[in-house]
Amino acid sequence: MDSADSHAVARRALGLLDLTDLSGECTPAAIDRLSARAVTPHGSVAAVCLYPRFVAQATALLAGTGVKVATVVNFPAGGEDTPAVLAETQAALADGADEIDLVMPYRAFLDGRPEVARDQIAAVSSLVKAAGARLKVILETGEIGDLDKVRAASELAVEAGADFLKTSTGKVKVNASIEAARVMLDVIARSGRTDLGFKPAGGIRTLEDAAAYLAVADAAMGSGWARPSTFRFGASGLLDALVATLEGREDDGGTGY
């Protein structure tokens, strides 16, 4: 990419970013820093994504900024204890979460028990929609592997009430991939729902990574489709690369804004 193209991609991607801290050592001080980074001189990210115990803190810190607060449930294992997942979801919503990122019970799906996944997604969707929030369903595509099964999981999640399809937790060996993205975006296109979103997550760190996923989204859905309500990047380090590009400097790998 030339400098003008790089600048355009960086500006576009910044507003589509779910700035994420799902590290095991995350602390309240780290959430203070994350929330401060969410608003840059070049614009704000779409959301921060963090563990449920930090939702109330982030909600207070980001009040009035327009930055959404997203949190994860059934994370990262994608278990089958739906009552526990519902309790976790309800607590997060009560603390102010705008978006819930639910790990689908993908092992049950792979074991030939899709009804477990379908019922859990539907139950969480009901809670989320009643609260006026949005539901992202994490398929864990790297663990599913087979692209036909990725398609089937995507279709199941859409039918059960997902507002977004999300690739990955970022906690497994294989996370987001362009191949899985194409399949998931095709399911979205075929659904006829222009409000249904897509979120690649895990391993997206560079401007080139961001450009590749935006190109796939544009090809599948049209150049005007990817906006904060329909497209997000789940990443922790990508913001530094985007800000560095916008400021005309090399990304030094630091924390930046």
For the annotated catalytic residues, the residue numbers are 101, 166, 199
* Cα separations in angstroms, 51 against 33, 92, 175: 15, 9, 19
Question: Which amino acid would we find at residue 18?
Answer: D
Q: DSSP class of residue 231?
A: B
* Token representation of residue 246: 């916008």
| Cis peptide upstream of residue 41 (ω within 30 degrees of 0) | no
Short-list 188, 186, 243, CA closest to 210: 243
* Token representation of residue 192: 């006829």
- The Cα–Cα gap between 105 and 107 comes to 6
The DSSP element (H or E) to which 49 belongs, if any, is: strand 47-50
- The Cα–Cα gap between 232 and 101 comes to 12
- The Cα–Cα gap between 61 and 58 comes to 5
